[in-house]
Amino acid sequence: MNSYEAILRDVAEFLATNYDIALHSLAPEATLEDLGFDSLGMFSVMTLLENKHGLRFEGAMLGGLRTVGDLLALLRAQSSGA
Q: Name the residues that contact other proteins, by CB under 8 A.
A: 17-20, 36, 40-41, 43-44, 47, 50-51
The least CB distance from residue 50 to other proteins, in Å, is 5
Burial class (CB in 10 A: 0-12, 13-18, 19+), 37: buried
Q: Who's near 45: CB < 8 A, 6+ residues apart?
A: 11, 14, 15
Residue 17 or 25 with smaller CB distance to other proteins? 17
Nearest-approach distance from CB 21 to other proteins, in angstroms: 9
For the bound state, the minimum distance from the C-beta of residue 79 to other proteins, rounded and expressed in Å, comes to 19
